[in-house]
Structure 1
Amino acid sequence: MAARKRPGRVRTKRTNRRPPLLLSTIAPQDINVREGETWSIVCPDCRAWRRLMGETQLKIREHCHSDQVPEGKTHERCPGSNQLVLMDHSVDQWGEAMLTADSTATGRRSARQHHKPLPAPAPALTHMAKPTRVPEYDGRAPWIVRELRWASTAPAVRDTDTRRAQLPAGDVPTDGPAVPLTTLRPQRPTR
């Protein structure tokens, strides 16, 4: 078995005067006491990972609320600093409990992935909506029907366009304002 890394020394006897955290009450994802790794815990106040210091008496290392403090501001100590952590289980017992919790979580999850079904491809444009059948167009392709309908309305459209282009006989209408016949060129005002 590999020896675990030596934790940093606790340099103060000061605590935050709260009751100690018990290893058995801490969620397995919020603490790391594995062999060969630096022991660490999620601070209950600032929810950031912090080192556990000490060998016999474990404490959360003194730290600030946030690691990023604007320039010119002072660091404010987190109330979770120097929090005692009691090992009411041995590391082996805690590891077994963590493995049990992990295995039950894995057992609840399905190993098979369920994907949403892909949508069916859209049908071709000619198959989307059948044109209403006109007796003289029955049995013809849709594009031919469209051409025949356009051909049947083309003379009426052409006639309307020609009538629109003709000017009325007589004088121009007098209802509107007079339109200037020369180009207006505004001048800058003189000072």
Structure 2
Amino acid sequence: MTLSSVAVAKQRPTKTRSKRQPSTRPALAVSTLHPTALDLSPGKEHLVCPDCATWTPITGVRSTPHLVPHHIEPAGTPGPPRRCIGTNRRLILDITVARWQRRFTEGGVEAAARRSTKVLPKPVAPVAPPVSEMRPARLSPVPARRAYLAHRDACPACTDTAHCTLGATLATTLLRLLRQEPERRRGADLIEEFAREVAARRARQEPRRRSAEWVRVSRSVDRVDEARRQQLSSGGAPSYHRA
């Protein structure tokens, strides 16, 4: 084999790689972040960027941890992308995964403790009585007369001598209420008279009740008055006692 037949690797052109520009922001200690704004799960290291408030991956965990380059606008926004000022920001991993998990768990317990676990019962709606036990509202001749006259004015079939079905019902109801009105008024007068008698009886019994109360406490009052007179006769200052 000659030297000309030996395979020689061809030199390939190298790619032009841009150097990573470090962020001008100061290094961020991850222990200052809230546990819920940080994820240190192995292989899933993320945190909420303090500058743009977006979840950003952490790279270089074992060497020089920093935030990966990320943009401010969401993906698909037209126009040139605007890179966040927190791109390539240095991070200080001054907290272990176990401590972060403990703080994260304790924060969840505190949040759950702030929520009230008391189940407030719904107000029980009153049960409507059955239709057979419902009492219709008491009718009065005044609204019945008003309804009858309004129907007479609007119904062309109702005249002075004839009525339609609804007009006849309204007229019958009005006549029945007019016949019952004197009896209803007498009943109302009886109820009012009974209420006046009860009030007069209570007024007559009030002096007797006051006299009975005075007789019940008169001995205690006399005893206190006698003690006060003796104290005044001896030259002492009056004192007040409860009976």
Q: Normalising by structure 2, what TM-score?
A: 0.44
Query: Is residue 65–residue 91 contact of structure 2 (8 Å, CA) maintained in 1?
Result: yes
Residue 75 in structure 1 maps to residue 71 in structure 2: no
For 2:104 and 2:97, the matched residues in 1 are separated by 10
2:149 is matched with which residue: 147, 153, 168? 153
- State the one-letter code of the partner of 2:24: R
Residue 32 in structure 1 maps to residue 39 in structure 2: yes
Q: CA deviation at 1:78?
A: 0.9
The verdict on how the C-alpha distance between 1:119 and 1:48 changes in structure 2, with shifts beyond 3 A counting, is: farther
Q: CA deviation at 1:50?
A: 1.2
For 2:108 and 2:77, the matched residues in 1 are separated by 40
Secondary structure in structure 2 of the residue aligned to 1:41: strand
The verdict on how the C-alpha distance between 1:159 and 1:103 changes in structure 2, with shifts beyond 3 A counting, is: same
Once the two structures are superposed, the pairs formed by residues 154-169 of structure 1 within 5 Å of their partners are 157=153, 158=158
For 2:85 and 2:73, the matched residues in 1 are separated by 12
The verdict on how the C-alpha distance between 1:104 and 1:156 changes in structure 2, with shifts beyond 3 A counting, is: closer
1:43 is matched with which residue: 36, 40, 49? 49
Which one has a larger percent helix, Structure 1 or Structure 2?
A: 2
Residue 61 in structure 1 maps to residue 68 in structure 2: yes
- State the one-letter code of the partner of 1:39: E
Output one character per residue of 1:75-131: Cα deviation in whole Å (capped at 9) or x when no partner: 11111111122111212122212222222222222334446647668899xx7x945
Any stretches of 5+ residues in structure 1 without a counterpart?
1-10, 136-144, 161-191
The equivalent of 1:8 in structure 2 is none
Q: CA deviation at 1:65?
A: 1.1
Once the two structures are superposed, the pairs formed by residues 108-147 of structure 1 within 5 Å of their partners are 108-114=114-120, 117=123, 130=137, 133-134=140-141
Query: Is residue 69–residue 75 contact of structure 1 (8 Å, CA) maintained in 2?
Result: no
The verdict on how the C-alpha distance between 1:123 and 1:57 changes in structure 2, with shifts beyond 3 A counting, is: farther
Secondary structure in structure 1 of the residue aligned to 2:41: coil
RMSD: 4.0
For 1:89 and 1:154, the matched residues in 2 are separated by 86
- State the one-letter code of the partner of 2:101: G
The equivalent of 2:101 in structure 1 is 95
Q: CA deviation at 1:68?
A: 3.0
Query: Is residue 47–residue 56 contact of structure 2 (8 Å, CA) maintained in 1?
Result: yes
For 1:102 and 1:154, the matched residues in 2 are separated by 70
Q: Normalising by structure 1, what TM-score?
A: 0.55
Relative contact order, CA 8 A, sep 6+: which one is greater? 1
The equivalent of 1:17 in structure 2 is 24
Larger CA Rg, structure 1 vs 2:
2
